[in-house]
Amino acid sequence: MHDVILPSKGQFLREDAIRGGMDLLFFSHTRHLKHADEALAAVGLGRAHHRVLYFLARRPGIAVSALLAILGVTKQSFGRVSSELAAKGLIEHHPGEEDRRQRTYQLTSAGIKLEAELFAILHANVLRAYTASGGIAVAGFWTVLQYLIGEEGNMQFRVVQGL
């Protein structure tokens, strides 16, 4: 397909290698999400909506407080996005089972369908990259990402993973 550019052996801590890695993070983020962004735009939604759909698919019935922590957004910001998703019939909320004052959120059948379509777009891209890279590289990639997101991000990652 194309040649992979790697930092010089033993030189990965140099500024040019770190900047190159950051360049790759920026480019990979925008290019990876491009087709999903286009599919979302076609139905009047954006990345903020996608994040909510994605994490509700990962954790159906999640309490709003836990979802806010995972998303790293304010209640006001979430309120705008969740209202738009609810108006389109993609998400719904219910009182909590243990605490009726608490709200829990989940995808509707239309939300499940849209999220699955978006995931299929992203899945194919990640599968291609993982296959080309191999297990050792993927494990290294996961390690790098977990160090980049820090302890708070790792706590949220564990919640999403159900750990």
Tokens of 78: 């979430």
On whether residue 115 sits in a domain, the answer given is yes
Amino acid at 99: D
> Residue length, the chain?
163
Residue with tokens 């304010």: 74
On whether residue 15 sits in a domain, the answer given is no
In this predicted structure, what is the pLDDT of residue 119? 97
Q: Taking each helix axis from N to C terminus, what angle separates 64-71 and 75-87, rounded to the nearest 10 degrees?
A: 110
Question: Cα separation of 163 and 146, whole Å?
Answer: 15
| Number of CB atoms found within 10 A of residue 60's CB | 12
Strands (E), 51-90: 62-63
Q: Which domain holds residue 85?
A: 20-161
Residues in the chain where the model's pLDDT stays below 70: 1, 6
Tokens of 135: 């297990």
In this predicted structure, what is the pLDDT of residue 1? 58
On whether residue 4 sits in a domain, the answer given is no
What sign does the CA torsion over 74, 79, 85, 89 have? Answer: positive
103, β-bridge pairs: 95
On whether residue 99 sits in a domain, the answer given is yes
Q: Give the total number of structural domains in the chain.
A: 1
On whether residue 13 sits in a domain, the answer given is no
Q: Which of 157, 124, 129 is nearest to 141 (CA)?
A: 129
Contact call for residues 154 and 76 (beta carbons, < 8 A) = no
Amino acid at 27: F
Question: Cα separation of 146 and 140, whole Å?
Answer: 10
On whether residue 10 sits in a domain, the answer given is no
CATH code for the domain of 101: 1.10.10.10
On whether residue 56 sits in a domain, the answer given is yes
Q: Parallel, antiparallel, or unpaired: how do β-strands 62-63 and 103-107 relate?
A: antiparallel
